[in-house]
Amino acid sequence: MNSMEAETNLPGWMLPCSGCLVMFYAVNAVSRLPSPALVK
């Protein structure tokens, strides 16, 4: 089962599982940081 692929295709506000919640909060935390990798 490719659960990760199916979850990544869903919008950020559509979280079908707690694992997606962890990923969602992780992405939000990273996006808030002034990361040179994200800022091109």
pTM: 0.35
Q: Binning pLDDT at 50, 70 and 90, where does residue 1 land?
A: very low
- pLDDT tens figures, 3-38: 555 555 555 555 556 676 787 788 888 877 766 665
Q: Give the residue ranges of DSSP H helices in 1-40.
A: 3-8, 18-32
From the list 40, 7, 1, the residue with the least C-alpha distance to 23 is 7
- If you search the block for the tokens 């659960």, which residue do you land on? 3
